[in-house]
Amino acid sequence: MKNRIVRAVAGTFILISLMLAIYVNINWLWFTAFVGVNLLQSSFTKWCLMEDILSKFGIKD
C-alpha cells in the first residue's frame, strides 16, 4: 500500500511541476529533477522521506 502511495505522490508531483514549467516558469523543472533525484537516491539507500511521513500517519506496508 505504502509503495503505491509513494509512486502516486511522485508521479503527481512530476506532472504538476511539468505543467507549472510549461504555463508558469521553466524553473519548475528543478522541482521535477528534485523528485527524480530523490527516487534514484531511495533506490540505492532504501530510505524514503515520504515513507517515513506515511508511517507517521499510520499507513502500513
Q: DSSP readout, 1-25?
A: -HHHHHHHHHHHHHHHHHHHHHHT-
DSSP 3-state assignment of 58? coil
Domain count for the chain, please give it: 1
Q: Is residue 61 a part of any domain in this protein? A: no
How far out from the chain centre does Cα 26 lie? Answer: 19
Instruction: State the burial class of residue 17 (Cβ atoms within 10 Å of its Cβ: 0-12, 13-18, 19+).
Output: buried
Percentage of the chain exceeding pLDDT 90: 90
pTM as predicted:
0.84
Over the chain, what is the mean pLDDT? 94
Q: Is residue 15 a part of any domain in this protein? A: yes
Domain with 46 in it: 2-56
Q: Is residue 18 a part of any domain in this protein? A: yes
Compute the average pLDDT of residues 4-9: 94
